[in-house]
Amino acid sequence: MRAVDALMECLKAEGVDVVFGLPGGANLPTYDAFVNGGIRHILVRHEAGGGHAAEGYAKATGKVGVAFATSGPGATNLITPMCDAMMDSVPVVFITGQVRTDLLGTDGFQEADTIGITMPVVKHSFMIQHPQELPRAIHEAFHIARTGRPGPVLIDIPQDLSRAEIDYEPVSDVRLPGYQPKIEGNQKQIRQAAKALAAAQRPVIYAGGGVVNANASAELTEFATCDRFPVTCTLMGLGAFPARVDGTAHPQWLGMLGMHGTRTANYAMDEADLICAVGARFDDRITGKLSEFAPRAKFIHIDVDPAEISKNVPAHIPIVGDARNVLAKLAIEYRAIGADPGRLGAWWSRIEGWRAKHPLGFEDSTDSEIKPQYMIQALHEATGGEAIVTSDVGQHQMWAAQYYDFPAPRRWINSGGLGTMGFGLPAAMGAAVGCPDRVVCCIAGDGSVQMNAQELATCAQNEIPIKVFIMNNGYLGMVRQWQELFWDGKYSHVDMGEFPDFVKLAEAYGVTGMRFTDKSTLVDDMKRAIATKGPVLVDVRVTREENTYPMIPAGQAAREMVG
């Protein structure tokens, strides 16, 4: 069979049920194989939309997402999703076409050095040099993408090789002698960590996206609740520990930490004597000024990627391993010690003091105006807190993170590390394809949504029922906020005006368009939008100049929080 037909067989063997992509000259043979390939393909309108959709699919389902593009511009359009997947450790396999081998290096039509351009933003890449290599490369790519610290893997296939005949035999093993992720976790280290936790007077568990990636949410909750450990999550980790149980706030939940985290979480980190970091990487949005970050704390650092340990903050007890394995073992070791939960009483009264004094809140409007924070609360109410929520990047993202109270992992899908505007809509599309039984909402910015609005056509054509709620303040809101606070209020190129008319835009794409402007009916209006069949784009007009608070100004310490 042709190499491309073998490609289809390999994808099926890997359990791929959908591919997001766009054909072109160099991957014509691949698209010919789709005709009878038995794999669902969703034709996107821009390769970046396809790449982010594959990410959204992967984040929502925990499976590997797949995106296809042609050579040259098709491949370069995938670079943002690749980089995004690299920064947020999302398992995605990207498969690009390449010009014929006799044209390689000649600046042929639609030739780009895809492998070279993408090298810094992929976990690994394969340039196919012989058609017979393809099946093994596919399986190795999926293996690398999903194991260890997940990430994007690229396979670049020259057009002539893709249509060559090969002897296809199913591949059942991978040969990667240089790739052996450590997942077990050193038992001695785990015991040390349990002892340190049992002795700690002011411990905090700081959980990141690695917990979600490892499907370790249950183990995290189990471990945290085997004593009264306070828990905070990063932006990427939200949902790894339930913000609410049975409709009320989880007593051990401190809220998100970091630049726009709660004061309680940031102050607890500041005063902690022991911080147990799980699947988190001490990003600058978490630490603020590094020299003043958690100055009293010792650190246990659990991560599957050894290079993350002691990269930014030195770990006293490093544990390299899969979060799920390590947390399960840690809970056993901790229980065996029989620590006195009473020792945490003073720490909890300190935390309760912060909670009472600095609850997350905002000044609501006294008229019909919709405050952006209220918009998120309204969405929570309209969806019962049970939707998958994606977002773009900016103020709306932070408010969604602060106010939606995610009850479970893989419900909150956003671009954290790279901060990619235009991520939310295609990611919602991918999540909805992966989880057809769930309500999938995108909280978009009026600036961000325009960066991949073309995928509305994909949603309309394929009846992908995403509900996009644009938090429309007519500004590039986060940039405006920084200009207001740190650049003397001089606004430079942040006013987006009332363009486009989002309702008309929706209708042009064959999507239901709505506009909500009244707070008093917002919850019901949102319920109506969610109940509407098919994709819906809603223009929600919110307060124009509202700031996202609280906030640690960039490069400052947790103690310097404002707002």
- Tell me which residues touch another protein (CB under 8 A): 115-116, 119-120, 123-125, 127, 129, 144, 176-179, 182, 185-186, 189, 192, 298, 305-307, 309-311, 313-321
H-run or E-run covering 244: strand 244-245
Cα distance between residue 554 and residue 485, in whole Å: 11
Calpha distance 203→231 (Å, rounded) = 9
Contact (Cβ atoms closer than 8 angstroms) between residue 40 and residue 2: no
Range list of β-strands (E), 36-81: 40-43, 65-69
Identify the H or E element spanning 428: helix 424-434
Other Cβ atoms within 10 Å of 371 Cβ, number:
18
Structure tokens at 440: 């999938």
Please say which residue, 183 or 332, places its beta carbon nearer to another protein: 183
Residue closer to another protein, measured from CB, 12 or 130: 130
Find the shortest distance in angstroms from Cβ 275 to another protein.
13
Query: What span, in angstroms and rounded, lies between the C-alpha atoms of 451 and 58?
Result: 21
- β-pairing verdict for 253-256 and 231-233: parallel
- Residue 533's closest CA among 486, 465, 472? 465
Question: 557: which 2 tokens?
Answer: 């310490």
Burial (CB count within 10 angstroms: exposed 0-12, middle 13-18, buried 19+), residue 537: buried
What is the total residue count of the chain? Answer: 563
Distance, in Å, from the CA atom of 12 to the CA atom of 493, rounded to the nearest integer, reads 48
Tokens of 537: 């784009």
CA-angle at 191, arms to 190 and 193, nearest 5°:
65
DSSP type of residue 384: T
Do residues 158 and 124 touch, judged by C-beta distance below 8 A? no
- Rounded Cα distance between 498 and 18, Å, is 37
Task: Reply yes or no: is the peptide bond before residue 158 cis, omega within 30 of 0.
Answer: no
Q: Where are the alpha helices (DSSP H) in 227-370?
A: 263-271, 284-287, 323-337, 345-357
Reduced to 3 states (helix: H, G, I; strand: E, B; else coil), residue 21 is strand
CA gap 21, 47 in Å, rounded: 6
Tokens standing for 423? Answer: 């991520």
Question: For the CA atoms of 255, 260, 265, 267, what is the dihedral angle to 10 degrees?
Answer: -160
